[in-house]
Amino acid sequence: MSAIALGSNLGNSLETLEGALDALGQTSGIEVQSFSSWYKTAPIGPAQPDYLNGCAILAVTLSPNALLTALQAIENQFGRVRQERWGPRTLDLDILLFDDLVMNTPDLTIPHPLMSKRAFVLVPLSEIAPDWIDPVSEHKISQLKQTVDCSDVEQLRQESANKNEG
């Protein structure tokens, strides 16, 4: 199992994020098990629009590096351009957790090194995986969420998040 974060703040972010979930589900070696609500969050970094963020739990038969490659291909499919660190983006897909793996290579660090400090990750992740234990801190996601300020994380109304269902 793997947990990923999804974020967007350029273009039609809701459409992009829902399209990214569809693209993940159509990718060989990836099955979307569950996904969180979408949350409006304040940006980190340079001045830019607010983000929509969420998380998903994936069943994967890919290696961590192959999953990273697949996520980057989906980002590119949705027009992701890397210009500046923490700058605005059409789509951002990050691996947060991969089973209980701890790895640190030049290309990939698991668990995500900033996960435990980011409310925009911990709030949606705790919605779908509250009991998943971060292998570095050895705390549950629900416990990590209690250590950050979540006041800037606003859940979208369910009817707007699920407007295409029914």
> Which residues are the active-site residues?
80, 89, 92, 94
Q: How far is CA 29 from each of CA 32, 63, 70, 99, rounded to the nearest angstrom? A: 10, 9, 10, 15
Q: How far is CA 163 from each of CA 5, 41, 159, rounded to the nearest angstrom? A: 21, 20, 6
| Residue of 35, 26, 47, 10 whose CA lies nearest to 156 | 35
